[in-house]
């Protein structure tokens, strides 16, 4: 396959509500993003994945859309959206929109019309069923946001299906009229010159509700190929599907270019590893490097010949990378850099979630009243009612709750972290006076400048883009090491992901009388031979001398 721009790209994810508030109403907006494009150009990213900015009653912070072709008033206007696309483009940055078509808002005209009458031409855009024999929900399927996945509509005496909140009714993708309407909307945005789509819970659109099949339904890949032909074909754009159900083999089906579906998917195996089998994300399990490396190597191998990986530690639904996989205290900076180095050295497209580039940590709010996320608040209420203790639930929320990623971006040490003139919609991280963008830009050794160098390196080192991946030290509990080779060039990526000094015998593949250091955040290694001593969270990428 001819190399695609997005294979060598680094994508920056923006959660608009929390990025930058330009008009002082406590909520981030498009003007705030436009004002920070120079910052992102300095960082060196090639694309922005923009979480939803569409018209929405904000029941789920925009993932509940009431008009796909208009902008939420609190975020700005369509004109500002076009300015963002143009101004980002002038800086070589493409805008990747969030496509949320598993469901709409219950305020979307399609649903308002559908609910108004059984004869509505939009009734079949949604999934309606008769009550169960006891007059209750048709079955016991659950919503991800707690409670039943069925909501009763007294007017029609029927239930509608919603895998997320009851204000996010699922679209019925068995209805071709839904396909046409969504394809028309996608082409409307693509014709505006966007760089592609991130596709929300796209593995759920092939659901067969009556068979209780939600993820990875039998028609899913057919729907994606149809969508590709109707919208993406012939356009040099990127598509990344959010697929919680994906396996390495499944990812190959999604991203093998010969199948003409997607460019890549987000898989979450490395995330759910730290979740409790019974209690899920609400009981956090420690991060185990060996298990993590096993997952990474399986995905790297599965997509080596065809398909493509996405690479990420965090996003707007996940805790901060340093808090989850690194060290929030003494080694916050070193662990942030080490996590970045070992992730960006892999084969795939790296994603940087806003704030990750300055090493932000989870906020650890004291009270449940400080949290805003619908999933967190719903599950808090539901699990406490089911007997879970407040302490245990708060521990789960502090470890894995989605608001961990949604605190306002701290631009400087001024009030509200320089996010905006008014008190933000959610409290800032308590440490914004120390950990903020202004401080990071001013410090050449900061996490920010490490990310800038790392992103630059990917542009200069084709072996980091297309090089083969070869894992090393699979069973080592603290060190993550692997080779990337392209042509005669051999790069080694080595990282100690522990707060301890580690010493180990070098694997033969790493023996190199002299090395060319490409990036390191402790002293640059000059050679690799015999034994290797690594300081806490030390990591580097070096070019090995050609084999004798
Ligand atoms: O997320 C899908 C999803 O299932 C996660 O939101 C959820 O948190 C899960 O339990 C993992 O923790 C997508 C969007 O990323 C999310 O923000 C939306 O809330 C959701 O879909 C509905 O659109
Ligand atoms: Ca605002």
- Active site positions, annotated: 200, 242
Protein residues whose CB sits closer than 6 Å to any atom of ligand 1: 60, 63, 100, 144, 164, 200-201, 242, 244, 281, 316-317, 375, 402
Mean pLDDT over the full length of the chain:
97
Structure tokens, 344: 């960006």
Task: Tell me the ligand closest to 32's alpha carbon.
Answer: 2
Substitution candidate for ligand 1 out of 51, 99, 200 with most atoms within 8 A of CB: 200
**Residue in the structure block whose two tokens are 């795939």:** 348
534-546 burial, b for 16+ CB within 10 Å, e for fewer? bbbbbbbbbbbee
Residue with tokens 């505006």: 192
Closest atom, ligand 1, to C-alpha of 318:
12
- Ligand 1 atom 2, closest CA: 201
Report the pLDDT value the prediction gives residue 2, as an integer from 0 to 100: 74
* Centroid of ligand 1 to alpha carbon of 317 (angstroms): 6
What's the gap between Cα 457 and its chain centre?
A: 22
- Nearest residue by C-alpha to atom 6 in ligand 1: 317
Atom 17 of ligand 1, residue of closest alpha carbon: 317
- Which helix (H) or strand (E) segment holds residue 343: the answer is helix 332-344
pTM of the model: 0.98
Q: How far is the CA of 474 from the centre of ligand 1 (A)?
A: 31
So what's the pLDDT on residue 545? 87
- What is the residue with the minimal CA distance to atom 23 of ligand 1? 63
Residue located nearest, by CA, to atom 7 of ligand 1 = 317
pLDDT of residue 223: 98
Q: What tens digit of pLDDT does each residue of 120-160 get? A: 999 999 999 999 999 999 999 999 999 999 999 999 999 99
Ligand 1 pocket mutation, candidates 201, 268, 279, criterion most atoms within 8 A of CB: 201
> CA of 302: how far to CAs of 199, 247, 309, 344, 390, in Å?
22, 10, 9, 18, 42
Specify whether the CB–CB gap between 96 and 351 falls below 8 A.
no
Nearest atom within ligand 1 for CA of residue 375: 8
Task: For residue 523, give the DSSP letter.
Answer: S
Question: Closest ligand 1 atom to the C-alpha of 400?
Answer: 12
**Whole-number pLDDT of residue 547:** 72
Q: How far is the CA of 272 from the centre of ligand 1 (A)?
A: 13
- Euclidean distance between CA atoms 281 and 263, whole angstroms: 28
Which ligand 1 atom lies nearest to the CA of residue 163? 22
CB atoms under 10 Å from CB of 474, counted, come to 12
Ranges of residues in the chain whose predicted pLDDT is under 70: 1, 548
């Amino acid at each position: 396959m001819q190399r695609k721009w997005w294979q060598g790209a680094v994508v920056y994810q923006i959660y608009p509500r929390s990025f930058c508030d330009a008009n002082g109403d406590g909520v981030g907006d498009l003007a705030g993003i436009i004002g920070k494009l120079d910052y992102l150009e300095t960082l060196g990213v090639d694309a922005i994945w923009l979480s939803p900015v569409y018209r929405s009653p904000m029941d789920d912070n925009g993932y509940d859309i009431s008009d796909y072709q208009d902008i939420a008033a609190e975020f700005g206007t369509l004109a500002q959206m076009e300015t963002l696309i143009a101004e980002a483009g002038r800086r070589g940055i493409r805008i990747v929109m969030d496509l949320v078509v598993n469901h709409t808002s219950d305020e979307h005209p399609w649903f308002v019309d559908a609910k108004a009458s059984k004869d509505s031409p939009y009734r079949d855009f949604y999934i309606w069923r008769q009550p169960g024999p006891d007059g209750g929900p048709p079955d016991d399927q659950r919503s991800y946001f707690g409670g039943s996945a069925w909501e009763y509509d007294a007017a029609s005496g029927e239930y509608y299906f919603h895998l997320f909140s009851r204000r996010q009714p699922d679209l019925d993708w068995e209805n071709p009229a839904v396909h046409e309407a969504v394809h028309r909307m996608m082409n409307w945005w693509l014709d505006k010159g966007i760089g592609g789509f991130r596709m929300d819970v796209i593995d759920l659109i092939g659901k067969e509700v009556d068979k209780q099949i939600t993820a990875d339904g039998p028609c899913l890949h057919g729907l994606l190929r149809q969508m590709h032909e109707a919208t993406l074909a012939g356009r040099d754009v990127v598509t990344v599907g959010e697929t919680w159900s994906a396996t390495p083999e499944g990812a190959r089906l999604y991203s093998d270019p010969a199948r003409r579906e997607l460019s890549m998917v987000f898989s979450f195996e490395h995330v759910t590893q730290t979740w409790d089998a019974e209690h899920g994300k609400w009981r956090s399990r420690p991060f185990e490097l060996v298990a993590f490396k096993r997952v990474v190597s399986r995905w790297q191998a599965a997509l080596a010949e065809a398909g493509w990986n996405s690479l990420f530690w965090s996003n707007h639904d996940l805790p901060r990378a340093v808090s989850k996989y690194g060290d929030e205290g003494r080694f916050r900076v070193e662990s942030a850099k080490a996590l970045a180095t070992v992730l960006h050295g892999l084969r795939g497209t790296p994603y940087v979630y806003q704030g990750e580039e300055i090493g932000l940590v989870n906020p650890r709010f004291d009270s449940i009243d400080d949290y805003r996320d619908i999933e967190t608040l719903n599950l808090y209420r539901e699990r406490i009612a089911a007997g879970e203790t407040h302490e245990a639930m708060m521990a789960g929320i502090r470890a894995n709750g989605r608001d961990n990623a949604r605190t306002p971006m701290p631009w400087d040490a001024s009030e509200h972290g320089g996010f905006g003139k008014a008190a933000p919609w959610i409290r800032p991280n308590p440490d914004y006076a120390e950990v903020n963008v202004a401080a990071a830009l001013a410090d050449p050794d900061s996490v920010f400048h490490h990310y800038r160098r790392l992103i630059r390196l990917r542009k200069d080192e084709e072996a980091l883009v297309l090089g083969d991946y070869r894992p090393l030290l699979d069973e080592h509990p603290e060190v993550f090491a692997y080779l990337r080779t392209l042509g005669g060039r051999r790069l080694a990526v080595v990282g100690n992901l522990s707060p301890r000094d580690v010493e180990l015998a070098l694997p033969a593949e790493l023996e190199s009388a002299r090395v060319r250091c490409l990036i390191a955040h402790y002293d640059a290694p000059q050679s690799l031979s015999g034994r290797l001593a690594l300081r806490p969270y030390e990591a580097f990428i070096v070019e090995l001398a050609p084999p004798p």
